[in-house]
Structure 1
Amino acid sequence: MRSYLKYIIPVLIPLLILLMPLSAFPFEGTTVLQQRVIAIFLLAALCWVLEPIPIYATSVVIIVLELLMLSDKGLIFFRLDQGEAHFGELLKYNEIMATFASPIIMLFLGGFFLAMAATKYRLDVNLARVLLKPFGRDPKYVMLGLMLITAIFSMFMSNTATTAMMLSILTPVIAVFGPKDPGRIAFALCIPVAANIGGIGTPIGTPPNAIALKYLVGENYISFGEWMAFGVPFVVVMMALAWFLINHLYGAEQKTIDLDIKGKFLKTPKAILVYITFGLTILLWLMGSSHGMNSYTVALIPVAVFSLTGIINKEDLKKISWDVLWLVSGGIALGLALDKTGLARSVVHSIPFDEYSPYVVLFGAAFLCLLMANFMSHTATANLLMPIMAALGASMTTLAPLGGEVTLILVVTFAASLGMSLPISTPPNALAHATGNVQSHQMARVGVVLGVVGVAMSFVLVWVLHSVGHIG
């Protein structure tokens, strides 16, 4: 029976919401469209948590339901009461469809092209080989090198792809440790931890960052370089803490280790073009808008170059993580509905947040996000919380001295990426757990400490940067 509940509950509860009278909702002046958005939101939340269907499929369902039930070109049955005061204003159908081609999606697409080209021409493995040389043979310093390289790669590549690549390099190395040597745990655990933390460093490092950018517009706009200005220092500090913690808990008994990664940089014309395009794209991102282009426009340069030259062909296109792009677009569509119908503002205004300390609100929101991110997809967590956090940040006057909306969004975004206490928390964690070298309780000991400390540290960092005028 329990196996059927995960299919029944996500459908039954939204249907009950749709059948309720408008007077039953606690928000003043609730409209028919807002009622439908509540039903869609609950459907999305339950599907993302219970996963009766793939999480990317949930995002597609969200967009289709919004087109059918909320748009000006939806089913006529859902527009019969249009024009009445309690109905609300219909959304434009093309705005909902545009979430499939949002600038955020284009930014991620550019990141995927870069990552795919780097892997295809072995740029990632060869960089790992070169960058690891200075770290010698002491296990704790070799681990530090592996963590730094993993973090750097995960800033520009999928965290999952980075983890898979680094674990494949490590497989023969871990085998060198004795069966009871804690070094096996340390080396298997350091890779997913570094990948999860490293993704925070750039806007394309992980989907929650891209979702946050959707709400950091206008006066709150943060460029690629500005994000890295606070993201990279945060990553460096968290990496140092993670390295110390893993060494303290699971220090290797073996005194020396040999890390032999074979390979050399390719020198073919296409490989050289990949190196140049990769470096140029990152440079343009770091330069912000000083060249007149934003990060979304820059992201399409490698897409054009690699497509034009055949570096990425039609077979490679099939390997792109389209499910991630769909997942993010569904979150953007959900945020659009919450915003355009006024539901997010109604929810925020119905709770007297101004009566609470801004510190309570900040830490409460961040730790709620951290808790959710440990049990469900980081992207799904960000999709659900970010629209509400954006509306909350804009409405709370007491948050202004602490950075207002920007601080709240960034702290919650960081919290989404720091949920890594369980094998189910992130794909990198699942890959590391699948090696058989690290158990759930060992992962939790490190993940809980890093999550709690990271949330507190993110608030301090963002507040300091706001105080000196770098953001917000």
Structure 2
Amino acid sequence: MAGILTCLWKYRNYIVIVLTPLLLLPLPLASPTSEAKCGYVIILMALYWCTECIPLAVTALLPVILFPMMGIMESNEVSPSLQQSHILINHFLLEWDDICVFSSVIQVCIQYLKDSNMLFIGGLLVAIAVEHWNLHRRIALQVLLIVGVKPSLLMIGFMGTTAFLSMWISNTASTAMMLPIANAVLQQLCDTEANAEEREFNMAAAKNGLDNQAFEMGDAKMSKELQSKENTINLDADKDDSNGIISSLEAQQRRLKTEQKYTKLTKGMSLSVCYAASIGGTATLTGTTPNVIMKGQIDELFPDNGGVINFASWFGFSFPNMVLMLALSWLWLQFMFLGFNLKSTFGCGTKKEGDREAFQVIKDEYKKLGRMSFAEGCVLTIFTLLVVLWFTREPGFIPGWATLLFNKDKTYVTDGTVAILMSALFFCIPSKLPRCCGRSEDGASSEAPAALLNWDVVHEKMPWNILLLLGGGFALAHGSEKSGLSIWLGESLIPLQSIPPFAISILLCLLVAMFTECSSNTATTTLFLPILASMATAIEIHPLYVMFPCTISASLAFMLPVATPPNAIAFSYGNLKVLDMAKAGFILNILGVITINIAINTWGVAMFNLNEFPSWANVTKTP
């Protein structure tokens, strides 16, 4: 029996791949409607995403196959130009049914490369350039040189730096960069403190030894008189040996106590870095994939929303929420791993030697970077310009530069347009100052310097699978709308009108935060957002009131090592146990949900006018 179970477990992915569509097949057969067929595709993809029996990106491509085959994209969606080209296509021996299927494939495929994908690509290209030229490492070390190496300040420094970097580069990259620095600093602090205590103990023992020697020399006569008695010498020898053993044991215990303290501190520091990476990614529209998914879903499901979500509006809501979550996370981790003895954790009245040596470790790492190169300066300049253009394109409270310059519809220029424009400069600007008369070492004329980025670097570091995941999510949302599944879901959720909106938001955030522990945050957001949009339309509450908190909650995967790549990296670096991460992460999940709902019910209401049901949200009610 055990052998059979072992064999089944080894082939579990193949079993899930084959059995899942067969077990779900009664759904479209018993109810051969477009809604049931679309539900079949969504449930199948959800199970494939949760079990990861095939790669997530391959699962995201299933709508390209299943939507046309199951007739979810109907023939009346064929564009007039395609209908007028019927004769031309017949010339290639295609029948009208084939044309309709071909059109359905086109309708699905265009969902895989929309403006949100362009925004994501542009943001990733900037992140790749920052990482390629080590600009993120320079920023991180400079911040740590400012905050110092006291335990609490060090944790604040690492969390703040990691969160800031995660706003612009991937959470995984920022975690992988910061954790080795944190471990090196803490190891230096531990060794220095242990050696200092050992030296103090040896000096004290030597001093006591000299005092005993003087005492024995002063009382030599008494010692000679006592030598005639039995066992006196043996007793004295035993006493000396026991003192040496006790001294040695005491020194070992002190060192062990110091190492245990820093082992606990290392756990807390590792968790603080990976948690700060996940929290920091929520602050900007391009910080993490679920944010871009929400932007794309809002534009797909509510095309007349007027650009309610852009870089500036997202940052205005999420950045204060990120700072609040970061502060609460620091307080909780401080309590768990450092305690609330502020005098010791902030370094008041403590020895300076260990701090100086640990500080020197950071300083040495910074010196290895050398002076800022021309390439780093160019990357920093382009990055700064990109952020400024994002903020000022359409800030909301005043007309943005896109409206003023083009004097047309503000949707002509989007955040994706700006991202692609600025990221394209990385392939046009040289990485060194051009020297027309420059010579190489062998005297030959030097070649032109390479650009800041080349396609080989981009191809190696670009997560192409995420782009397919984004497209798969948009295809699901489009299929739900066209098949009528979103309307059916909305009508089914109408009884939720009796529940206060703030309670709905809290319950949904808890559900998403729990679900994302076992599934990727990208898949979680992709599955939940269309359902949330349908629910909001049915019970007539602002879609952002539930979609915004749940999107951020999808990044609150703090409890399990497998929940996010930053968690897995921290688990390998910090000598952590699953229980350590579960205890710390459970409270942070609760704090995160509370913080998000405080934000959405305070400044979120003021920013997006969430107390009123917008007219553009009625679009899913009309078939």
Q: TM-score, normalised by structure 2?
A: 0.68
Could you tell me whether the CA contact under 8 Å between 2:532 and 2:547 is conserved in 1? yes
Q: Name which of 186, 201, 206 aligns with 2:283.
A: 201
1:317 lines up with 2:450 in the alignment: no
RMSD: 2.7
Alignment partner of 1:334 is 2:491: no
In 2, distance between residues paired with 1:171 and 1:66? Answer: 50
Cα shift readout 1:406-430 (whole Å, capped 9, x = no counterpart): 1100011111011221101111000
Q: Corresponding residue for 2:160?
A: 148
Deviations 1:155-211 (A, max 9, x none): 111111111111132232232335422111111111100000001101111111111
Q: Is the contact between residue 27 and residue 40 of structure 2 (CA under 8 Å) also seen in structure 1?
A: no
Amino acid in the other structure paired with 1:348: G
Q: Which moved more, 1:97-106 or 1:380-389?
A: 97-106
Correspondence 1:421 to 2:562: no
Q: Could you tell me how far apart the structure 2 residues matched to 1:226 and 1:379 are?
A: 21
Q: Given the alignment of the two structures, is residue 188 of structure 1 paired with residue 270 of structure 2, yes or no?
A: yes
Structure 1 gap ranges (5+): 26-30, 83-88
Q: Give the total of aligned pairs.
A: 453
1: CA distance, partners of 2:148 / 2:186: 16
1:159-178 superposed matches below 5 A:
159-176=171-188, 177=190
* Distance in 2, Cα, partners of 1:471 & 1:202: 20
Instruction: Give the TM-score of the pair, scaled to structure 1.
Output: 0.89
Counterpart of 2:121, as a letter, is L
Q: Does 1:238 align with 2:325?
A: yes
Q: Pick the aligned partner of 1:18 from 19, 22, 25.
A: 25
- 2:508 matched to which residue of 1? 365
Aligned residue number for residue 214 of structure 1? 296
Deviations 1:105-140 (A, max 9, x none): 111111111111111111101111222222122111
Deviation at 1:437, TM superposition (A): 2.3
* In structure 2, distance between residues paired with 1:452 and 1:118: 34
Specify which of 94, 97, 100 is matched with residue 109 of structure 2: 97
Matching residue of 1:28: none
Between the aligned partners of 2:184 and 2:583, the Cα distance in structure 1 is 26
Alignment of 1:393-472 (within 5 A): 393-397=536-540, 399=541, 404-470=542-608, 472=610
1:277 is aligned to 2:415: no
The structural deviation recorded for 1:62 is 3.6
Q: Does 1:7 align with 2:14?
A: yes
Q: 1:121 to 1:469 in 2, by over 3 A?
A: closer
Structure 1 position 60 matched with structure 2 position 61: yes
Counterpart-to-counterpart distance in 2, 1:187 and 1:96: 45
More displaced 10-residue stretch of structure 1: 228-237 or 338-347: 338-347
For residues 243 and 469 of structure 1, what CA distance do their matches in structure 2 show?
Answer: 28
Kindly indicate whether the alpha-carbon contact (under 8 Å) linking 2:73 and 2:483 is maintained by their aligned counterparts in 1: no
Percent identity between the aligned chains?
28
**Whole-Å separation in 2 of the counterparts to 1:418 and 1:37:** 29
Mapped partners of 1:266, 1:299: distance in 2 = 28
CA contact 1:123–1:265 (8 Å) conserved in 2: no
Which residue is equivalent to 2:415? 295
Q: Distance in 2 between matches of 1:287 and 1:190?
A: 33
Which residue of structure 1 aligns with residue 88 of structure 2? none
Letter in 2 for 1:117: A
Tell me, in whole angstroms, the C-alpha distance in 2 between the residues paired with 1:380 and 1:371. 13
Residue 51 (structure 1) aligns with? 52
| 2:138 counterpart residue number | 126
Cα offsets for 1:347-402 (capped at 9, x unmatched): 221232223333332222211111101111011100110111111112212x3xxx
Distance 1:3 1:344 in 2: 38
Task: Name the CA shift for 1:219/1:355 in 2 (closer, same or farther; >3 Å).
Answer: farther
Q: Which has the larger radius of gyration?
A: 2
The answer for unaligned runs of 5 or more in structure 2 is 1-7, 79-93, 191-257, 300-304, 348-354, 395-399, 403-412, 430-450, 611-623
Structure 2 counterpart of 1:243, which letter?
Answer: W
**Cα pair distance change 1:63/1:250, threshold 3 Å:** farther
Amino acid across the alignment from 1:18: L
Q: 1:249 to 1:21 in 2, by over 3 A?
A: closer
Amino acid at match of 1:339: E
Of residues 508, 523, 531, the one that matches 1:380 is 523
